[in-house]
Structure 1
Amino acid sequence: MSALVKVSGGLVFSVSKPNYGKQDYGITPQGPLDWLSFLIAHILIGEPADFCGYEIISAPTEFILQQDVILVITGAEYANYYCYSVTGSVLQLRHNTVYEIKAGSRIIMNGKRIGFRTYLLLTNVNIESKQYIGLQRDNFFYSTLSGYSNVLDVVTGPEFDYLVNPAQVLDTPWQISHLSDTMGVRLNGSSYQLTKYDILSSAVCDGTIQFTKEQPIILLTNRQTIGGYPRVLVVTKLSLCHLAQTPFNKIIRFQLIDLVVAEQRLQATYQMLAMARIAIQRKILANK
């Protein structure tokens, strides 16, 4: 599907759905960092198996469409989105809205941005995908993230008891290092003390916070599958979306919650997504 669009400049990564089931072979699921924004975009265009997705850190000079497409933009919102057609017309696009765009058109996004990662998803134009044109996120996803928070929910990890004084970690601010990447977010902040700083290499997951002697590292989607540093805390799956939208050098804090509460909040989000799918299909059937 890479033939759908040509990217000129910027910091843009091709991204697809996570691929689970291979971690025992040392292969991580990968996938988008803000999984919820990505999933909402995929639902809005009909959840096609064949699609093209981009995670945008720094906006490119332009996206040039190689053929007619159905597209939607979600995640971090730029102030301006413009589509310049080959005929010379200009269309101002709306965030979180599905459009049909003709081949040869140029898409430009600029201005102030709220958040850090923007998602562009595209699929081929056909009878099925045309049914989703005009859908808007706010008409279906009523309980989605309302703004991005720098307070991340965390649960205790397997080596939480290694912390000599948990308040040193939980009650102080942490700054996201500019050395962070899609493997992990490195944090700069206060000192802390553990009873030991290594373990037998053990399984890790997205959101695991490994505590080295130098700094905590929050593991992300391109992480390793095992690690030898204490797994003191784990960022919840929902809070990982907030973390994904927090730029370098910004301050975050941790809020310790019970695992049961974290699971309940995640299940409520999955329920919201299921209800949105049903509402979208009802709307499509009503329009036939």
Structure 2
Amino acid sequence: MSRLTVEASTPLCLLQDAGRFGVRHLGVTQGGAADWLSMSWANNLLGNAMDAAVIEITLGGLTLEAQEDCCLALAGADLGALLEGQSLAPWRSFLLRKGQRLQFTSPLLGARAYLAAPGGFNAPAVLGSCATVVREELGGLDGFGHPLARGAELTYSGQGQTLREVPRDQRPDFTQQQPLDLVLGAQHGQFSGQSLFDAFNSGWTLDSRGDRMGIRLLGPALQYQGLPMISEGIPLGAVQVPPDGQPIVLLNDRQTIGGYPRLGALTPLSLARLAQCLPGQQVRMAPVVQETAHRQHVEYLQRFI
């Protein structure tokens, strides 16, 4: 069994996998990697299952020391990673020798990086997943939802792999201003016509009040004209509109039910892009029919087969 020791960390460095499923009727949220695409590529570089446990590093601040020679993989944001002081670009597997340090400094492009180890990091499964949800005190190294802390030891049991890179034409481009696709929801027809026009023809600024539960979008106030709602189940990517008219995109650590009207839900591919956006960045939304969103999702998944 190989080990990595945490020398420095932040509350935003978490152990994640694909998340928990089949438990929302218990009031337990999904959790899991916010950018599932980057997690999948990091695991793919090492021949892991797509949903093997990885470290999600948000905005940097993590330092690890290898206790044995190891082969790891990095995908997602460029957080200024340094291997023994030398720059390490993402989208590749690499060797970390015993005693060497891997440090993540600050964002250069994107917000979240994903570090994978052969076979995935070891952690107890809680309700079928090791995904860390701090609010619910579930998952992580100890099963109680704690972020990675200084002095913690990460272990894995897989074997080293050949050094590889994700082909450039397969890497997500975090510099693109591609609209976020949204599948319209049950209440979209109860917003004013002007609001629907504004929703898809305006730029939306990511508020600093955002976390793994949800991201608030700042822009023109959207006006809901329907009757008050009874709380209902909330899917990943749901775009809720509270009374102030500023949409909130609900993410992996969202509540399981809610009573605000919804424009719809962002597609999984768009959610992965949103997870790499920083506060103050502008995004746009575009409506898409469910069949198109499903086809695009399946086509992307086929890259991993």
Question: Judging changes above 3 Å, is the alpha-carbon distance between structure 1 residues 209 and 48 closer, same or farther for their aligned structure 2 residues?
Answer: closer
Question: Judging changes above 3 Å, is the alpha-carbon distance between structure 1 residues 254 and 20 closer, same or farther for their aligned structure 2 residues?
Answer: same
Cα drift, residue 60 of structure 1 = 1.8
Unaligned runs of 5+ in 2: 119-154
Question: Judging changes above 3 Å, is the alpha-carbon distance between structure 1 residues 187 and 112 closer, same or farther for their aligned structure 2 residues?
Answer: closer
Distance 1:203 1:62 in 2: 39
Residue by residue over 1:9-30, the C-alpha shift from the partner in whole angstroms, topping out at 9 and shown as x without a partner, is 4542222232222122221221
Letter in 1 for 2:229: I
2:45 aligned partner: 44
- Of residues 159, 164, 186, the one that matches 2:192 is 164
Cα drift, residue 92 of structure 1 = 5.0
2:108 aligned partner: 113
2:292 aligned partner: 261
1:64 aligned partner: 65
Cα drift, residue 95 of structure 1 = 2.0
Cα drift, residue 270 of structure 1 = 1.0
In terms of fraction of residues, the more helix-rich structure is 1
Residue by residue over 1:24-70, the C-alpha shift from the partner in whole angstroms, topping out at 9 and shown as x without a partner, is 22212210111000011112122169965222222226222244432
Identity percentage over the alignment? 26
- Say whether the 8 Å CA contact 1:4–1:52 is kept in structure 2: no
- Say whether the 8 Å CA contact 2:73–2:117 is kept in structure 1: yes
Distance 1:136 1:24 in 2: 40
- Say whether the 8 Å CA contact 1:68–1:125 is kept in structure 2: no
2:88 aligned partner: 93
Tell me, what secondary structure is at the counterpart of 2:164?
Answer: coil
Distance 2:276 2:96 in 1: 27
2:137 aligned partner: none
Letter in 2 for 1:259: Q
Spell out the pairing of 1:234-245 with structure 2 (5 A cutoff).
234-245=265-276
Cα drift, residue 6 of structure 1 = 0.6
Tell me, what secondary structure is at the counterpart of 2:210?
Answer: coil
Residue by residue over 1:100-151, the C-alpha shift from the partner in whole angstroms, topping out at 9 and shown as x without a partner, is 323321112447611111111224677x632x23021118xx5442335442
1:281 aligned partner: none
Cα drift, residue 76 of structure 1 = 0.7
Please report the TM-score for the alignment, with normalisation by the length of structure 2. 0.78
Distance 2:57 2:227 in 1: 36
Question: Judging changes above 3 Å, is the alpha-carbon distance between structure 1 residues 177 and 111 closer, same or farther for their aligned structure 2 residues?
Answer: closer
Cα drift, residue 168 of structure 1 = 2.2
- Say whether the 8 Å CA contact 1:69–1:125 is kept in structure 2: no
- Say whether the 8 Å CA contact 2:77–2:107 is kept in structure 1: no
- Say whether the 8 Å CA contact 2:13–2:55 is kept in structure 1: yes
Tell me, what secondary structure is at the counterpart of 1:33?
Answer: coil
Question: Judging changes above 3 Å, is the alpha-carbon distance between structure 1 residues 93 and 237 closer, same or farther for their aligned structure 2 residues?
Answer: same
Question: Judging changes above 3 Å, is the alpha-carbon distance between structure 1 residues 49 and 185 closer, same or farther for their aligned structure 2 residues?
Answer: closer
Cα drift, residue 91 of structure 1 = 5.9
Cα drift, residue 156 of structure 1 = 0.3
- Of structures 1 and 2, the larger Rg is shown by 1
1:146 aligned partner: 173
Letter in 1 for 2:6: K
Question: Judging changes above 3 Å, is the alpha-carbon distance between structure 1 residues 65 and 155 closer, same or farther for their aligned structure 2 residues?
Answer: same
The aligned length equals 264
- Say whether the 8 Å CA contact 2:180–2:266 is kept in structure 1: yes
- Say whether the 8 Å CA contact 2:39–2:50 is kept in structure 1: no
Letter in 1 for 2:172: L
- Say whether the 8 Å CA contact 1:209–1:219 is kept in structure 2: yes
- Of residues 166, 170, 188, the one that matches 2:218 is 188
- Say whether the 8 Å CA contact 1:176–1:250 is kept in structure 2: yes
Tell me, what secondary structure is at the counterpart of 2:42?
Answer: helix
In terms of fraction of residues, the more strand-rich structure is 1
Unaligned runs of 5+ in 1: 85-89, 275-288
- Say whether the 8 Å CA contact 1:173–1:253 is kept in structure 2: yes
- Say whether the 8 Å CA contact 1:197–1:213 is kept in structure 2: no
Residue by residue over 1:217-256, the C-alpha shift from the partner in whole angstroms, topping out at 9 and shown as x without a partner, is 1000000111111122211110001100110111111111
Question: Judging changes above 3 Å, is the alpha-carbon distance between structure 1 residues 125 and 256 closer, same or farther for their aligned structure 2 residues?
Answer: closer
Cα drift, residue 162 of structure 1 = 1.4
1:284 aligned partner: none
